[in-house]
Structure 1
């Protein structure tokens, strides 16, 4: 009752694997769930190795910062021809002319 009907139709809760197979192809599932893919344990090891291979990149990202001296102030966002560098306001409603 908390979710709109359109959103409710997007969610599927499966209590048995047979109902899951009607929505998800077995080639996409790990062997632990009756699929044709690798086991969850093998996938976990592979992804852990992949994330660890990016360790240096993650360490470098810790020092990445915004240079606030290069940030354009709101009142200075006009270009030479008077156009704005972006669109101000919210995008809750999109009006197309």
Structure 2
């Protein structure tokens, strides 16, 4: 079985990883663009919030990070399939 790495999947997962670190490095009380980006980056946590609500147990931060990166990888794969579809 051959596994092909998706370019869009890697890009989406990388963007999420940067935002994940951004949440911990920036103070939410900061004013200006950094404060806005902090609140905007919370949208990237939406899939893991939904997943955590559905599970009967709590995920550790490391596990939630890994799961979120995988989720965003597959979102990128889906985007790649949409762009590669012949119309």
Q: Is the shorter-chain TM-score for this pair beyond 0.5, marking a shared fold?
A: no
Q: TM-score, normalised by structure 1?
A: 0.25
Higher share in helix = 2
Q: TM-score, normalised by structure 2?
A: 0.28
